[in-house]
Structure 1
Amino acid sequence: MDELDLADLFRKLGARDPDAWAQSQLQEGIPQLARFVFLRQAWRLLTSQPGRSWVAALKAQPAAIGPEAAAALDRIAAAGVTEEDLTAVVRIIERELLFSFCYLLSDPGDLEPEISDMAWGLFQVDEHGRPIAAIPGLHESVLETDPEGGGAD
């Protein structure tokens, strides 16, 4: 796939700077398409997706969230906090969690001496599940893949 075709694919998938993603993949050998798609899918799993009434969805399943959380949501609403304000706070927490999780894939942090050589990573795999490309430094692209524009490309 040449750079124009790859940039068109990034554009179709929703990348804000598709030319830069394509150029980086082809010139630097970084599996940017796999990075972008993984992060796009991760963002889609978060509660605070645009247009999603996540509070109503959670309250419709009180057994799934537990009585404490359902009661807390009721108290928050009774205090006059709007779903938009609550979503803004939740979004910050989700973004930090996604960044931390992606960083953890590259660096396990301080481990006990007995397991200090332990590491893990994210890999693009072939149709048989065999690793074909490591996807390092995923945390570096979390903000630039924020569907609400939380970072610069």
Structure 2
Amino acid sequence: MKPDELTELFRRLGARNPADWARSQLDEDLPQLARFLFLREAWKLVVADDGAGWIRDRINDVSSNPGGEIGPALQRLLSAGAAESDLTAVVRAMQWRLLFGLCRLLDDPGSLEEEARGVAWRLFQIDEDERPTVVMGGLYESILEMDPTGREMRPV
């Protein structure tokens, strides 16, 4: 793909710095399009900071399913005077920390037990036959710049 075509694709997909993503892919031979799309989709799993609809959704989802205790817990916190914006800030920050940790874990298995030395994992881009083609490493390095708010998880 030509540089201007790739830049335009990144722009259409919502990249804040489309030329930088395209240049990095072409000049450094990194799978930046795959990295960008993975991180964009991963951020969709983090609660948005533009409202507390997620709180009402959880409170209204009364169930005995795994995680079902969140609704009553949120209701108790609100009844005790917690602000929805504070709950959103706490949950959002913790979800970002988990996302960062998981992406870091993909590059480094950490301190496994001695018996498990040599065990490792990676995230790969795959071809149409589901064969790995290229490692998508260093995802944790781009997590903050992919924050949909553009604030890189910094306070307002």
TM-score by length of 1: 0.92
More helix by share: 1
Q: CA deviation at 1:76?
A: 1.1
Query: Unaligned regions of 5+ residues in structure 2, if any?
Result: none
TM-score by length of 2: 0.90
Q: CA deviation at 1:97?
A: 0.6
Q: 4+ runs of 1 displaced by more than 6 Å?
A: none
Contact 1:106/1:136, CA 8 A, preserved across alignment: yes
Instruction: In structure 2, give the amino acid aligned to 1:129.
Output: E
Deviations 1:99-144 (A, max 9, x none): 0000000000001111110100000001110011110111001001
Q: CA deviation at 1:58?
A: 1.0
Q: Is 1:32 paired with 2:32?
A: yes
Q: Which has the higher contact order (CA 8 A, sep 6+)?
A: 1
Aligned-pair Cα RMSD in Å: 1.7
Which sits farther off after the overlay, 55-64 or 103-112?
55-64
Instruction: In structure 2, give the amino acid aligned to 1:34.
Output: A
Q: CA deviation at 1:151?
A: 2.7
Q: CA deviation at 1:51?
A: 4.9
Residue aligning to 2:123? 122
Instruction: In structure 1, give the amino acid aligned to 2:118.
Output: D
Question: d(CA) in 1 for partners of 2:139 and 2:41?
Answer: 13
Question: d(CA) in 1 for partners of 2:58 and 2:88?
Answer: 13
Contact 1:48/1:90, CA 8 A, preserved across alignment: no
Residue aligning to 2:109? 108
Aligned length: 151
